[in-house]
């Protein structure tokens, strides 16, 4: 089950955290993994996969740059022959209410979290349709399903991820492309560590405990747990699943 042998899987923001865990798991399941990141951190993920016996290449790409995305996807398809799976994982965060959010903050988050997903998905669809189909998986958030305090701009972008997922799913359900999204609660990643350092200097441990307590299960999730759900949704075992938002939230939505 969950065999991805010889499938080409492109994962954005895979230099660390959830994206790196997804890339590593997909490679273990036989996929040829393409790691996109805005900096050279993707090289480290790719090297670790290759050292473990998997197949991976890294490409530097700013997902908010239309020309860079089009060029990168075109080059990957030319080099590897196809793109079977796209995981839109790249994203950035912001803390603040609407009063604490500047127009520049909003534009910065929109550029990566919304425009980036649009550009990558559009490029992937253009490659997937002629080859007969594929899978797109987007990283949303429970912030796209419920209100999360002081996450105005972030929640706006993740709400857009959710609705773009449904739109892609309904537009291409008859043409062989499935599209779903995952909605995690707090996940322990370097992204979270950086967020704590930036927003709560000197209070990192206190705020980490608060983030853990937010989930009724009593802890944050792990990147590997999110990756396991991603594997299912991108595998042939989920061939009947499209247009869905899957929470992985430690009980937040039922508390």
Q: Is 154 a catalytic residue?
A: yes
How is 15-70 classified by DSSP, letter by letter? TSHHHHHHHHHHHHTT-EEEEEESSTHHHHHHHHHHHTT-EEEEEE--TT-HHHHH
Locate 20 and state its tokens.
Answer: 């790196």
Length of the chain: 255
Tell me how far the alpha carbon of residue 202 is from its chain's centroid.
29
Tell me how far the alpha carbon of residue 68 is from its chain's centroid.
18
CA distance linking residue 116 with residue 89, whole number of Å = 10
Question: Residue 106 is inside which H or E element, if any?
Answer: helix 103-109
Locate 249 and state its tokens.
Answer: 């939230």
Residue 204 near residue 141, CB atoms below 8 Å: no
CA distance linking residue 18 with residue 197, whole number of Å = 19
CA distance linking residue 18 with residue 21, whole number of Å = 5
Residue 17 near residue 220, CB atoms below 8 Å: no
Q: Which of 110, 154, 172, 246 is catalytic?
A: 154
Locate 223 and state its tokens.
Answer: 């990147």
Active site (catalytic) residues: 154
């Amino acid at each position: 089950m969950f065999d991805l042998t010889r499938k080409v899987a492109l994962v954005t923001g895979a230099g660390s955290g959830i994206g790196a865990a997804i890339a590593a798991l997909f490679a273990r399941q036989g996929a040829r993994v393409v790691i996109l990141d805005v900096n050279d951190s993707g090289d480290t993920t790719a090297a670790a996969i290759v050292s473990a016996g998997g197949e991976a290449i890294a490409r530097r790409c700013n997902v908010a740059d239309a020309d860079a995305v089009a060029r990168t996807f075109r080059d990957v398809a030319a080099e590897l022959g196809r793109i079977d799976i796209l995981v839109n994982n790249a994203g950035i965060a912001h803390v603040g209410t609407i009063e604490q959010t500047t127009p520049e903050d909003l534009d910065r988050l929109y550029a990566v979290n919304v425009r980036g997903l649009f550009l990558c998905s559009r490029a992937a669809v253009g490659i997937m349709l002629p080859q007969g189909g594929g899978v797109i998986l987007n990283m949303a958030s429970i912030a796209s399903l419920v209100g999360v305090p002081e996450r105005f701009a972030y929640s706006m972008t993740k709400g857009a991820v959710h609705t773009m997922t449904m739109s892609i799913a309904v537009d291409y359900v008859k043409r062989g492309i499935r599209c779903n999204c995952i909605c995690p609660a707090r996940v322990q990643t370097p992204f979270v560590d950086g967020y704590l350092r930036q927003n709560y200097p000197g209070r990192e441990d206190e705020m980490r405990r608060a983030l853990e307590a937010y989930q009724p299960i009593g802890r944050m999730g792990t990147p590997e747990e999110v990756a396991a759900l991603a594997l299912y949704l991108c595998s042939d075992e989920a061939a009947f699943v499209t247009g869905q938002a899957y929470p992985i939230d430690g009980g937040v939505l039922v508390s």
